[in-house]
Chain A
Amino acid sequence: MMTDVSSIWHLIKKDLKIDFRQGYAIYSVLLFVFTCVFIVYKSFTEFSPQSWIVIFFIMLLFVSINAVLKSFMQESGDSSLYYYSMLNPIHVIVAKTLYNFVFIVALSLIIWLLLIFFSFNPFSSSIDFFWTILLVSYGFAVVFTFVSGLSKADGVNATLLAVLGMPLVLPIILLGIKISFSATTLLSDTSLATDFMLLIGIDLLLTGISVILFSILWKS
């Protein structure tokens, strides 16, 4: 058990170190976020909470696709053989998913802050929105990490696989948007608890499947 945790932790640390050492990956995503927010700020003269939320989630979707796509780039070629002989596939997918999860949460907080800076904060209950961000980011991380893990074998067009992931995250986004809408109003929605449970359920289901399938695919 301890070795599992430490091996996952080392993998996460390795990803973090590589990303910070290379720099360009993180900075390019940040530039992407800033440009998007600025375009939105310049083009909307009046911002309704509804459009705020929809734009937030669409930006988050594309930013996280860009951020996660690279996650298996380093493991192509010879290093993949090295990893294959060294590591348990479950550790790899869990570490990648967690790392991407943290990354996407950080990005969504940055988008949120930038949107507040340029426009306003539409939420009466920011806590609810924060939980939504956590759950939606986790769903994104699971789906996109799995899908980019599929493209680990070289020769598959990584962008295409990201496109394939998009219908898979649609229910997650739709639920996220629904919960966020209810977080903008003062009245709390009676179905809020079921929506949260549903989101958690979808996240858990996808996690289970991605872990099982990845360990099968890892062999090839």
Chain B
Amino acid sequence: MIRQSWWKILGVVMFLYVIIFGLLTPLKPGITSVSPITIPSGQELSLDISSYNTRYQDAQQLRAWLKIDSLHIIEASKITASSDNTLKAQFTIPAHLPTRALSASTDLIVDSDSDGYALLPNAVFVSQSKKQLDINAGSQLWQSSVIKDIHQPTGIKFPYRNILNESVRNLFFHVAIWFAMFALLIGALYYSIQYLRKGDKLYDIYASSLTSVGIVYGLIGMATGSFWAKYTWGQFWINDVKLNMSAVALLIYLAYWILRSSMKDQDQKARISAAYSIFAFAALIPLLFVIPRLTDSMHPGNGGNPALSEDDMDNTLRFAFYPAIISMTLIGIWISSLAIRFEAVKESFYINKAKNQ
């Protein structure tokens, strides 16, 4: 199979598909910001809404709600679009809140027939004074509206996430390349074990080439992750357990490179580096999958944060995400197969040279 080329073509075609589909698909409409973000109870609220990827001037029907929970919702009395991406909505905030607390956060939902609905969680904070505390009256006043006849966004679009915005597309590169790296490193682990069992030099070439490509993939994964971190968290590197542990994991594998380049004796090099890489892979599992899950982490998938869950992934993202994993793995195998052939040719060249002398 490795000698045929259909899987290489498949990998490249899928990767092109991921780039084109992943970068050209528009995002669903979203609300970027509102002002003001706090309002006392019992006042008229004139809310300036900025949105993204919307055509509000074409809309025939525009509606907006502020929602505390599924029961307590108020609707905007008047709503005007001053441009495609800015709205002005008038709300009458009731005098009491339906909570025992002095403030409540409300989600803003804007629905238009031109684009579909858009949502901003925790958009406006409504506060009340101690005198206004009246949970029953508040509960009645806030039940003035229900959200119905919502327009769904049409066409194939990626979900809009507030801090992610357009960078949601990085999912196909950052996450997929880590998956592909794992596939390559598991391959390397398999060939390391095979080498120790059978002692065939070819297995060592397989293992070392796969590991090298895996390390390069890891570096790329870290670089793409850094750009994502810069965009969403504000810095290229933050002091977070997942990031630090992945740095340690890469250090372990960089030591593998040092190890291989330090030894002259071929058999010894192969044996020791095979043993080291099995040891390193075993150390990698707790580093990347156990420790970050048990401690607090900002990285999705750890410390109680969801990853690849309903909230983050929808089916349009999956259409590019799974091909991205497969294509990057296939391309990785292709690159390593080139490295393997190069090493094997070098090996047989030196053997022939030694024979001729």
Binding site for B on A (CB under 8 A): 146, 150, 153, 155-157, 160-161, 163-164, 166-168, 170-171, 174-175, 191, 194-195, 198, 201-202, 205-206, 209-210, 213, 216-217, 220
Contact = CB atoms under 8 A, between A and B. Distances in A.
A161 B264 CA distance: 15
B223 interface: no
Determine the main DSSP class of B at the interface with A: helix
A164 B283 contact: no
A166 B259 CA distance: 13
A157 B267 CA distance: 16
22 contacts: A155-B263, A155-B264, A156-B262, A160-B262, A164-B255, A164-B258, A167-B248, A167-B252, A167-B255, A168-B252, A168-B279, A168-B283, A170-B248, A170-B251, A174-B244, A175-B291, A205-B282, A205-B285, A206-B283, A213-B196, A216-B196, A217-B275
A124 B294 CA distance: 25
Nearest to B258: A164
B272 A156 contact: yes
Interface string B254-266: 1100110011110
A176 to B, nearest CB: 13
**Residue in A155, A161, A168, A194 whose Cβ sees the most chain B Cβ within 10 Å:** A168
A47 to B, nearest CB: 23
B295 interface: yes
A106 to B, nearest CB: 26
B258 A198 contact: no
B237 interface: no
A163 B248 CA distance: 14
Given A170-B251, A209-B282, A164 B259 contact: yes
B295 A191 contact: yes
Interface in B2-57: none
Given A167-B255, A171-B287, A156 B268 contact: yes
A216 B275 contact: yes
Given A163-B255, A167-B251, A202-B283, 12 more contacts: A150-B275, A156-B268, A167-B254, A168-B283, A171-B286, A194-B294, A202-B286, A206-B282, A210-B279, A216-B275, A217-B196, A220-B268
B258 A217 contact: no
Determine the main DSSP class of A at the interface with B: helix
B102 interface: no
B147 interface: no
> Which 7 pairs, one residue from A and one from B, show the smallest C-beta to C-beta distance?
A167-B251, A167-B252, A164-B255, A170-B248, A213-B275, A209-B282, A216-B196
Contact of A171 (B262, B276, B291): B291
B263 A156 contact: yes
Interface string B294-327: 1100000000000000000000000000000000
A198 B291 contact: yes
B222 to A, nearest CB: 15
Contacts of A168: 252, 279-280, 283
A153 B245 CA distance: 32
A156 B271 CA distance: 12
Contact of B272 (A150, A170, A175): A150
**Residue in A146, A167, A202 whose Cβ sees the most chain B Cβ within 10 Å:** A167
A205 B252 CA distance: 16
Contacts of B252: 167-168
B203 to A, nearest CB: 14
Contacts of B267: 220
Nearest to B264: A155
Contacts of B263: 155-156
B229 interface: no
A198 B245 CA distance: 14
Contact of A198 (B251, B265, B285, B290): B290
A216 B198 CA distance: 11
